Structure 1
Amino acid sequence: MGNALRFLYGQCCNPTADSDHSLGHHGVSTSTVGVSALAHDLYHFEITSQVPEGLGKHVVSSKKAQVNWYKKLSEAWRESKPPPKTPEEASRLVIHSLKRHKKADVEGLLAFYGLPLPHSLVELSSVGPPSSDAPGLKFELQTLPVDGKAVADGDTVTVYVSTMDPRESSCVPRDVQVAAVQRSKARAKKNYPKADELHKMIVDSGYRVLNIQNEEILARKYRIRLRGIDAPEGSMPYGKEAKEELTKIIQGKCLRVFVFDQDRYGRSVGDIYCNGIFVQEVMLKKGMAWHYTAYDRRSELEKWEKEARAERIGLWASSNPEMPWEWRKNRREGR
């Protein structure tokens, strides 16, 4: 199958790699059972010409037909550059490769791997990130992998940027640099109370020492407000779903954030891109946010919201969903 499948098999399909999560029917964690398990089975098929056991319980076609599917999927995977990395990308590859086959079989195959079903996918545009001279663009951030717990709601996330980044390295406060060095020495001497005291000072200064792949990295904290959208608040209908959707998109990923403004709460207001995907587009097309027209007049955002409204997707399943800015105003006024 080639390096792409071997890499995914080795990195994602090791049953002992993620012992903190329950194992799926392929012996991998529930968080990796989709793309990695499909990669494993395609790699195995290339060697043995055998389809996975248990698939017949999810599909209606014969074993001979299943073999033909895996031939097509193997070819499609080899030809895709780059190969699928997310459940959505893997799901689209399956749907496109088997588009002439029965709907029940395609959905059964996707369900077997825990991949998104056709109705839950949205077609994304080819809108690229803004150019360096885009009107109002102040700066760009390249973040470290995002912790899912850092997602506050459907339109706000806390990210960290390594102080080794050229933009950050020149502006780290001297006392933070000194504290980071002293903390490292305290930990080496197993003086953990002192190390914790120093880290608290670092955190209070807007920084944090993160452990990423067994390497300690001093990073600066940024709170990001997604530009141009307003998601339901946590206690509103679809508030929980919006937060979960944003978490699913960005958790564990390094992001490109294009900052255009700062709001009254000190958050950086910007566009977020994750593996080339414009995050605001996904949130709007999945009906997990409103176009925030009071602060953003971009026509594409308006178009994506209208598409979700027309399809009655997400929060638009309700005939008259409450606007989050009106909800907040009513709460402030005690209504």
Structure 2
Amino acid sequence: MGNALRFLCAQCTEPSADSGSLGPHGVSATTVGVSALAQDIFHFDITSQVPEGLSKHVVSSKKAQANWYKKLLDAWREAKPPPRTPEEASRLVIKTLKRHLKADVEGLLAFYGLPLPQTLVELSSEVPTSLPEGLKFELQTLPVDAKAVADGDTVTVYVSTTDPRESSYVPNDVQVAAVQRSKARAERNYTKADALHEKIVDAGYRVLKIQNEEVLARKYRIRLRGIDAPESKMPYGKEAKEELTNLVQGKCLRILVFAEDRYGRCVGDIYCNGIFVQELMLKKGFAWHYTAYDRRSELEKWEKEARAKRVGLWAASNPEKPWDWRKDRREGR
């Protein structure tokens, strides 16, 4: 059954021509490795059987393998949301099986074509437990939509108006429109409901469907503090956007807001499942340290690490700075 499930995964996620070499299951590691692992974990929950062929990649017995899948099943169910990218899946496996043999952990990852521990970016920052100096306010967002990521340093988020900070700021006309929209939808008057929602959106809010419930939420545009990613038309602009999207989509974020820029965006630090987003973007070479606006030494250090490893945009000998690129476009060069 496990092989059949993998076949269905492969049909649903056909690898593209540039996906890289094929993994042990005959599919691209960048597209189906996570799905194959998920299918095998839940297949184990039904049958108590580990995948055929895994023993060729690991050193421990099938009894030990069964113990791994029990732990992975619990960890997968507790993850909210569950892993969606190869890196997230690798981190879950490594964390869950951290007391097991290195050869077994690496063999399991290799079996699914997932990144090995030595290829993952090591993250050092911790989520602040006390309020940093200069903090204006904090946001706890609803799950982020992939389409809300504009580029490698800008994302649109929504915060529920049930949040204590937000509840006292909702304009009365927005509250009234939300109630009237709900009533119009109950009466199947969708034309009126859509017109009311347009009024809500124009006011900077939106009604979102979260777990089959409608939630009135306030919109915030966030500019990641201290970094500047390549613009979308620059080299690595597309990759930077994809990296940020893969990291935040479907997840609730903690955002510490320190300022507002001239475009009305909140400038802040973003934390996603305990990961400091700016650290990851810098260490993977998908952003510059924006020294004109942020002098934090740790950001400078992370950029230097990526430069030394020549990862991301630093693979180029002399990458163009985003602020220079924007200036040249403004001046018509």
Give the TM-score normalised by the residue count of structure 1: 0.80
Aligned to 2:68: 73
Partners of 1:108 and 1:163 in 2: CA distance:
45
Aligned to 2:38: 36
Q: Name the % identity.
A: 63
Contact 1:286 / 1:313 at 8 angstroms: preserved in 2? yes
Is 1:196 the equivalent of 2:194? yes
Partners of 2:174 and 2:65 in 1: CA distance:
55
Contact 2:57 / 2:111 at 8 angstroms: preserved in 1? no
Matches within 5 A, 1:69-148: 70=65, 73-74=68-69, 77=72, 85=82, 86-93=88-95, 97-100=100-103, 105=107, 108-111=110-113, 115-118=114-117, 120-129=119-128, 131-132=130-131, 134-148=132-146
Partners of 2:229 and 2:184 in 1: CA distance:
43
In structure 2, runs of 5+ residues without a counterpart are 15-24, 26-30, 83-87
Aligned to 2:328: 330
Q: May I ask how many residue pairs the two structures share in their alignment?
A: 302
Is 1:216 the equivalent of 2:214? yes
Partners of 2:221 and 2:37 in 1: CA distance:
30
Cα deviation code 1:143-174 (max 9, x no counterpart): 00000100000000000000000100001001
Structure 2 residue corresponding to 1:316, chosen from 290, 301, 314: 314
Matches within 5 A, 1:1-335: 22=12, 33=35, 36-37=38-39, 39-40=41-42, 43=45, 48=48, 50-53=49-52, 55=54, 61=57, 65=60, 67=62, 70=65, 73-74=68-69, 77=72, 85=82, 86-93=88-95, 97-100=100-103, 105=107, 108-111=110-113, 115-118=114-117, 120-129=119-128, 131-132=130-131, 134-335=132-333
Question: Counterpart of 2:42 in 1: which secondary structure?
Answer: helix
Amino acid at match of 2:38: S
Give the TM-score normalised by the residue count of structure 2: 0.80
Task: Compute the RMSD of aligned alpha carbons.
Answer: 3.2
Judged with a 3 Å threshold, the aligned counterparts in structure 2 of structure 1 residues 30 and 165 are, in CA distance, closer, same or farther, namely: farther
Judged with a 3 Å threshold, the aligned counterparts in structure 2 of structure 1 residues 99 and 204 are, in CA distance, closer, same or farther, namely: same
Partners of 2:191 and 2:105 in 1: CA distance:
62
Partners of 1:39 and 1:99 in 2: CA distance:
20
Partners of 1:43 and 1:307 in 2: CA distance:
42
More deviation in 270-279 or 71-80?
A: 71-80
Partners of 1:247 and 1:170 in 2: CA distance:
31
Question: Counterpart of 1:33 in 2: which secondary structure?
Answer: helix
Q: What is the Cα deviation at residue 81 of structure 1? A: 12
Judged with a 3 Å threshold, the aligned counterparts in structure 2 of structure 1 residues 61 and 206 are, in CA distance, closer, same or farther, namely: closer
Partners of 1:30 and 1:274 in 2: CA distance:
23
Contact 1:142 / 1:254 at 8 angstroms: preserved in 2? yes
Judged with a 3 Å threshold, the aligned counterparts in structure 2 of structure 1 residues 218 and 76 are, in CA distance, closer, same or farther, namely: closer
Amino acid at match of 1:140: E
Contact 2:144 / 2:251 at 8 angstroms: preserved in 1? yes
Amino acid at match of 1:189: E
Amino acid at match of 2:275: I
Judged with a 3 Å threshold, the aligned counterparts in structure 2 of structure 1 residues 74 and 130 are, in CA distance, closer, same or farther, namely: same
In structure 1, runs of 5+ residues without a counterpart are 1-14
Amino acid at match of 1:212: I
Question: Counterpart of 1:183 in 2: which secondary structure?
Answer: helix
Q: What is the Cα deviation at residue 37 of structure 1? A: 3.6
Contact 1:281 / 1:301 at 8 angstroms: preserved in 2? yes
Aligned to 2:85: none
Question: Counterpart of 1:236 in 2: which secondary structure?
Answer: coil
Q: What is the Cα deviation at residue 71 of structure 1? A: 5.5
